[in-house]
Chains A and B, each alone.
Chain A
Amino acid sequence: MKEFLSNRIAATGLAMLMVVIAIALFAPWISPQNPYDLGKLDLMDSRLEPGGKYLLGTDGQGRDMLSAIFYGLRVSLLVGAASGVIALTLGGLLGVLAAYVGGRFESILMRIVDIQLGFPAILVALILIAVLGKGVDKIIFALVCVQWAYYARTARSAALVERGKEYMEAARGLGLSRTRIVLKHLLPNASPPLIVVGTVQVAHAIALEATLSFLGLGLPATEPSLGLLIANGYEYLLSGKYWISMYPGVALLLTILAINLVGDQLRDQLNPRLSRA
């Protein structure tokens, strides 16, 4: 932790990330208005420039952009974090299991992982969303399908290293059950690289969700994420009303940047090959 904070850029990233998470968590309490309560919107206030009554301006329906961004951040982070946690658990478990069990299970699983990782994430997600339709649950499912393979691969290689170590021998010698060895011994010890992959993947997931939503294939309009806000402002962009699209994009960028900065530092710290002696 000390080493982490000694890097100024990483510390800034972490601070940014905490602010973003706090905003997402407390959005309903700190937003100037509830952007989805249609009764509170005033059409007379639509497309106002930033400044004055509305700090970041308003959109085509007179919605305060600052509040819309706070709420959008909430949806974006929720989707990113939920898909990340599920994919990490699923992929991590399968990967560790593959390393532990070996044999046919391992070769089939790894073959599937190889094939899937041969395709760009956006294509896989696009196919799934085209097939499944819109919705928060569906997009989380699609993102899990896209991401699990990265975790499975990482977990397997980490577990292969751990498998040969003495504490594993000891656990087996004690006659512990397989489930217990995998869950309580192998998985925790194989997790540092998983966490590094996790930070990068969550950033990817948030960007991917935004992209899909922007294309009109992600979340429904009732729960707009940052991507959908940007898409909604797209039509006004060409007439010079930049703020409707611009500020949600800045929020998205800062979120992803913060996660990447933290992830970069974590990777350097946990990578023994780069340890600065």
Chain B
Amino acid sequence: MTVYVLRRLAQTLLVLFVTSGLVFGGLYLVGDPVEILVNPQADQEERARTAAALGLDKPVLEQYGLFLKGMFAGDLGKSFVFGRPALEVILERMPATLELAFLAMLMSVGLGIPLGLYAGLYPDRKTSKAIMAGSILGFSLPTFWVGLLLIMVFAVQLGWLPSTGRGPTENVFGFSISIFSVEGLRYAFLPSLNLALFKLSLIIRLTRAQVREQALLDYIRFARAKGLPRSRVIGVHLLKNILIPLVTVIGLELGSVIAFAIVTESIFAWPGMGKLVIDSIFQLDRPVVVAYLLVVVFMFIMINLVVDVLYSALDPRVRIAEAK
């Protein structure tokens, strides 16, 4: 197990290294950030001064070398636009994204498992068919378009909920969090619903498929034959067994929710990391883009690793194969 974890960590470093090189080099080729940063009327001298101040006058390989050196010291460079350390800018925005991701996961799991369970247990009922049709629709609806519809219906036409921005934040253990107040939740509701819809469909479909497969197995029949009440067979025996694969998927989907937040945040002007990275791509703010990717890639790899380890802890039948 230890060998496995160490091997995965080494792999992490390699992935981080490759990603940083690819993005660093690629963004260097795309365009000159100085052009965007300085006043269009600036003369040659001022341009050169800006370039030198940002370290952009050095050859690209030297810039990358300096960046790598900084990376190992936990310094991912200074944002061209904000003039502050890129990592700091990103970490500042992270709570906003994480609270959105958290709410979205809560919605999709809280609704998805019961609905999927129902559809799996009574596959022939009309309600189940409606649930499944809804889930195909949820799968097919592009996230960004649903976001627009939500704004149009709930914010513009009905005027029930605010459409853009984040509610008032309060300081919780040093993080600014907005979802502990009613006003904050009002702002967070539409974006997190938008983010949740796709995952909700996925969880409904997975749960249903699991239930239908497991319900035919011997241990369920045996439990029934023992005369256990139906609620116990479903609530304990069945649920326990379908939860194992679900936990893995939910864990992995957490990462993808964070990535998809890029789209949702752009639509709802939610001040999280995703909105930041889109703005930074347009402004060619290379340090922020690179730092964002490194932070997110790192988070993913950690989530994947935790899920893998949890999986084998949850299900004694699964043992992580020691790599050769």
Residues of chain A touching chain B, judged by Cβ–Cβ distance below 8 Å, are 115, 118-120, 122-123, 126-127, 130-133, 203, 207, 210-211, 214-217, 227, 230, 234, 237-238, 240, 242, 245-246, 249, 252-253, 256-257, 260-261, 264
Contacts and interface: CB of A to CB of B under 8 A. Distances in A.
Nearest to A233: B148
Contact of B141 (A115, A217, A253): A253
B151 A237 contact: yes
B118 interface: no
B255 interface: yes
B296 A123 contact: yes
Contacts of B151: 237-238
Contacts, number: 104
B156 interface: yes
Contacts of A120: 255-256, 259-260
Contact of A230 (B29, B148, B296): B148
Nearest to A214: B144
21 contacts: A122-B262, A123-B293, A131-B22, A131-B27, A131-B30, A207-B142, A211-B263, A214-B144, A215-B144, A215-B262, A215-B263, A215-B278, A227-B142, A230-B144, A237-B152, A240-B157, A249-B145, A252-B142, A253-B141, A257-B137, A257-B140
Given A123-B259, A240-B156, A132 B26 contact: yes
Nearest to A213: B144
Interface in B49-96: none
Nearest to B18: A115
Interface stretch (B240-248, B297-305, B314-322): B297-305
| Chain B contact surface mostly | helix
Contacts of A214: 144, 263
Interface string B14-46: 010001001101110110000000000000000
B139 interface: yes
Nearest to B256: A120
A203 B35 CA distance: 38
Contacts of B157: 240
A230 B304 CA distance: 34
A260 to B, nearest CB: 5
Nearest to A240: B156
Interface string B223-262: 0000000000000000000000000000000011001101
A103 to B, nearest CB: 12
A211 B26 contact: no
Contacts of A261: 136
Contact of A115 (B11, B136, B144, B263): B11
| Chain A contact surface mostly | helix
B266 interface: yes
B98 to A, nearest CB: 16
A124 B136 CA distance: 25
Contacts of B148: 230, 234, 237, 245, 249
Given A253-B142, A257-B137, A118 B301 contact: yes
A227 B145 CA distance: 9
Interface in B113-165: 136-137, 139-145, 148-149, 151-152, 156-157, 163
B155 to A, nearest CB: 8
A210 to B, nearest CB: 6
A264 B136 contact: yes
A272 B29 CA distance: 49
A28 B195 CA distance: 37
Contacts of B179: none
Contacts of A133: 30
B152 A242 contact: yes
Given A123-B259, A240-B156, A203 B140 contact: yes
A127 B294 CA distance: 11
Contacts of A234: 148
A130 B289 contact: yes
B205 to A, nearest CB: 10
Given A130-B26, A130-B27, A131-B27, 12 more contacts: A115-B15, A118-B301, A118-B304, A123-B262, A126-B277, A131-B30, A210-B144, A211-B143, A215-B263, A249-B148, A253-B140, A264-B136
A118 B256 CA distance: 9
A118 B142 contact: no
B282 interface: yes
A74 B10 CA distance: 45
B152 to A, nearest CB: 6
B281 interface: yes
A119 B140 contact: no
B185 to A, nearest CB: 22
B161 to A, nearest CB: 14
Q: Which of B148, B152, B301 has most chain A Cβ within 10 Å?
A: B148
Nearest to A111: B11
A238 B157 CA distance: 9
B148 to A, nearest CB: 6
A56 B307 CA distance: 48
Given A115-B11, A126-B262, A132-B26, A238 B156 contact: yes
Nearest to B15: A115
A238 B150 CA distance: 11
A115 B140 CA distance: 26
B253 to A, nearest CB: 9
Contacts of B27: 130-131
A240 B260 CA distance: 27
